[in-house]
Amino acid sequence: MLDIPLLVRVHLDALMAAQIDMGVCDAIQQNRPVGKPTAMSAPHLPKVAGIDPAVPPPAHTSAPLSTSAPVPPTGPGAVIQDRLAGWVSDLTTLHELTERLSRTCVLDDALNELLRAGAALVGARRGLVVLEPADGLGPAVTTGLGLAHADLGHIETVPRSATPYGRILDGLPDADGGSDLVGEAGSGGSGPDPRHREVAARLGYAASYALPLTTDTGDRMGAVVWLYDEPAEPPERRRHLVGLYLRQAAEQVARLVELDRAHTRLATVTEELLPSRLPRVARVQLAARHRTGPRGGGDWYDALPLPEGALGLAVGSVTGSGPSAVAAMGRLRASLRAYAVMEGEDPVAVLSDLELLLRLTEPARSATALFAYCEPARGKIVLAGAGHAPPLIVGERRTEYVETSLSAPLGMLACWEAPSVEIQPAAGETVLLYTDGLLHRTGDPMDRAFARLHAAAASVPRAARDDPGAIADHVLRTVLPDGLDVAGGDEDVVLLAARFA
């Protein structure tokens, strides 16, 4: 039996495991040591956002005790093991970066993460990604890392034939990236475009490294470029690693682009189904605020002039989300307009007709609605609600909810009917109609959400009470401090303000 030293056995075991698990036999053959073997390098530290971090030498306060420290073993096994450790470290870094990118749900967040991770891989501090899908359907986005908006504007002034980035994608290689040293043109007339050098001097970068953002199917999504303060180029190992990362990033970006397009189309359809402008009626000022959730909901509002100087105001919400809910919302709103023109002075009859239509045409769907018949000349409002939140009156002397009777949503009972309520807003008072999406977005229980809405309306500054739009904006800012675009805000929001003179 052969007596094999333990150290050699460890190296052979590591090599065999790497060959079996990683499939790097060809790489080992290609990178076999030539000439005198070198000593094993320092172990690689765990990395999250970069590779090959510098390992600082130990700071000695006194001379070493002995100069005969053991020398690390040298030999082919040590070199191969060191290289295998480097490959494992690179794969770990790549896995962590792609996993972090996969957790992004918004296109802008994905582009920012792509820039940060790529900058760490290629050793740059600044960069930009230009999103210009080849199909021309958009969205066209330019996002910078370490670059102000004005800096991006300067880069976008470079002619398309001068550089492969900054909304200038012509000439960028299909697969491999390219480095660009910014300096004086060569004697033969080659070199960067003069405009390119001018912008580089203004922004203070001396070199760039650009890569296309292309999916596995060959669809060009855009380009990414990183900028260096000094003439530099990432080494081959880092170029290979960032290329692998961008292949995964392009797929994630393509998915988020499709999602963004779907949200945009749905929001556009929803906005087209709502009033493009509010009517002008004597003694009434109107303002509306509406925001569709990311999944597309069925909240709506309406304001239409009626005979004899009257005004009809309506808000409502259809159950469900997505295109089907948006389509149902459009049909319901159009039907309510017709009923309001025929018998708007009786809000109960309007909602009864609407309930019958909903039960016959869409038996699996329910809806809430509130319709108000306003006579500004008489200072009178008659309203009825079907499972809807009560209006809120805001004025100098009072801020209170209108007491409406409890009623079921439309489509919930065999025959809907509820009594109407008459109110008389004073001159200068504003009536707020809203959907329950505003309350749900607070994240509070309904009683606390109503209290928050009441407190927001009561705190409207005196200077803003003459403008219904300012009142609506103040209420939204107070009730939803994080804004309407906060992540996770799935509910639609509708707020309709009518100020009576």
What pLDDT sits at residue 50?
A: 39
Q: What is the DSSP letter of 62?
A: S
Report domain 99-265's class.
alpha beta
Report domain 274-500's class.
alpha beta
Backbone phi and psi for residue 159, each to the nearest 5 degrees, phi listed first? -60, 155
What pLDDT sits at residue 489?
A: 59
Task: For residue 415, name the pLDDT band (cuts at 50, 70, 90).
Answer: low
Q: Are 228 and 146 in contact (CB under 8 A)?
A: no
Structure tokens at 473: 């904006």
Q: Which of 202-216, 299-313, 461-475 has the lowest mean pLDDT?
A: 202-216
**Is 313 in a helix, a strand, or coil?**
strand
Residue 71, pLDDT > 80, answer no
Pick the residue with more confidence: 164 or 61?
Answer: 164
Domain edges within the chain: 99-265, 274-500
Backbone phi and psi for residue 202, each to the nearest 5 degrees, phi listed first? -65, -40
Pick the residue with more confidence: 181 or 330?
Answer: 330
> What are 393's strand-pairing partners?
400, 431
Q: Are 24 and 63 in contact (CB under 8 A)?
A: no
Percent of the chain with pLDDT over 90: 44
Q: Which of 62-71, 321-330, 394-403, 431-440 has the lowest mean pLDDT?
A: 62-71
**Is 385 in a helix, a strand, or coil?**
strand
What pLDDT sits at residue 9?
A: 39
Q: What is the mean pLDDT of residues 133-139?
A: 87
H-state helical runs in 205-346 = 236-273, 323-343
Percent of the chain with pLDDT over 70: 74
Q: What is the mean pLDDT of the chain?
A: 79
Residue 291, pLDDT > 90, answer no
Structure tokens at 138: 């958009």
Residue 356, pLDDT > 70, answer yes
Q: What is the mean pLDDT of residues 296-302?
A: 86
> What are 299's strand-pairing partners?
317
What are the pLDDT digits (tens) for 11-68? 434 433 434 344 333 433 444 444 443 333 333 433 433 344 443 443 333 344 344 4
What are the pLDDT digits (tens) for 182-215? 543 332 333 455 676 777 888 888 888 989 999 9
Neighbouring CB atoms inside 10 A of 281's CB total 19
What are the pLDDT digits (tens) for 468-492? 999 999 999 999 887 666 544 578 8
Pick the residue with more confidence: 304 or 69?
Answer: 304
What pLDDT sits at residue 273?
A: 83
The C-alpha atoms of residue 277 and residue 481 are separated, in whole angstroms, by: 27
In order of 210, 220, 253, 284, the CA distances from 169 in angstroms are: 10, 10, 17, 53
What pLDDT sits at residue 414?
A: 64
What are the pLDDT digits (tens) for 238-273? 999 999 999 999 999 999 999 888 888 877 887 788
Structure tokens at 41: 């390098």
Q: Residue 197: in which H helix or E strand, if any?
A: helix 194-203
What pLDDT sits at residue 159?
A: 58
| Length, in residues, of the chain | 501
The C-alpha atoms of residue 263 and residue 135 are separated, in whole angstroms, by: 18
Structure tokens at 120: 């760490």
Pick the residue with more confidence: 271 or 132?
Answer: 132
* DSSP string covering 209-222: EEEEEE-TT--EEE
Structure tokens at 187: 């004697």
Q: Are 220 and 133 in contact (CB under 8 A)?
A: yes
Pick the residue with more confidence: 126 or 484?
Answer: 126
Pick the residue with more confidence: 21 or 461?
Answer: 461
